[in-house]
Structure 1
């Protein structure tokens, strides 16, 4: 898979699942931006998929 295809896949995932994520919005309101971001990266299934796809770039 080329770098361009990988970036396009990442963009599609983010646009589909992350743009209007209600979980992230709720966590930002309740616990703050830092906690919400950490949750998205380390616990959210979509965030984990983004990490796995992003590893193809290195």
Structure 2
């Protein structure tokens, strides 16, 4: 898979699942931006998928 295709796949995942994510919005309001960001990266299944796809860029 080319770099361009990988970036397109990442963009599609983010646009589909992350743009209007209610969990992210809730955690930002209740705990702050850092906690919400940490949750998305470490605990969210979509975040795990993004990390998996992102490894192809290395």
Same fold (TM over 0.5): yes
Counting matched residue pairs gives 58
What CA distance in whole angstroms lies between the structure 2 residues aligned with 1:44 and 1:21? 11
- Alignment RMSD (CA, Å): 0.2
What CA distance in whole angstroms lies between the structure 1 residues aligned with 2:17 and 2:23? 11
Pairwise CA distance, 1:16: 0.2
Structure 2: segments with no counterpart, 5+ residues? none
TM-score (norm. length: structure 1): 0.99
TM-score (norm. length: structure 2): 0.99
